Amino acid sequence: MRLIDADALKKAIEKYKPISVETGSFVDGENFMFDNCIREINNAPTVTRPQGEWLLLRTNYEDSGNNFYECTNCHYTDIHADSALVPFCWHCGAEMQNNKLFHMEHTTKKEEEE
């Protein structure tokens, strides 16, 4: 599944729609096809963006200064700096609910434990 901008897709399809409207012509058939495409886009089911959180697995991964995280929605892993704002999972598109605060809280707790 891909989350797309349906309005942008409709606009892109409509720019290919023939301008001439001749009744009973090939152009009339093309217009019918374009109208059906737009209708299908309008009637397509909507999806709600999945929600997730970055789960901190390891700090300072391989002495890189970056941390190793796991998406709680799809379990895809990612390495990024603690200061990086990564609001979505690259793999499943889940919106990360904890994003920045989670990183700071868990990094601070890890440092206190050491």
Contact between 75 and 31 (Cβ < 8 Å): no
User: What are the C-alpha distances in Å from 26 to residues 30, 31, 46, 48, 63?
Assistant: 6, 9, 33, 39, 65
Q: Read off the pTM.
A: 0.52
User: How many C-beta atoms lie closer than 10 Å to residue 71's C-beta?
Assistant: 23
Contact between 87 and 41 (Cβ < 8 Å): no
Sheet holding 54-58, edge to edge: 54-58, 66-71, 77-81
Pairing relationship of beta strands 77-81 and 66-71 according to DSSP bridges: antiparallel
Give the pLDDT of residue 90: 87
DSSP 87: -
pLDDT at position 98 over 90: no
pLDDT tens digits for range 9-65: 888 887 777 666 555 555 677 777 888 888 888 888 777 888 999 998 888 878 888
Q: What percent of the chain has pLDDT over 90?
A: 11
pLDDT at position 75 over 90: yes
Q: Where are the domains of the chain?
A: 6-43, 51-113
| Residue among 44, 32, 98 at smallest CA distance from 71 | 98
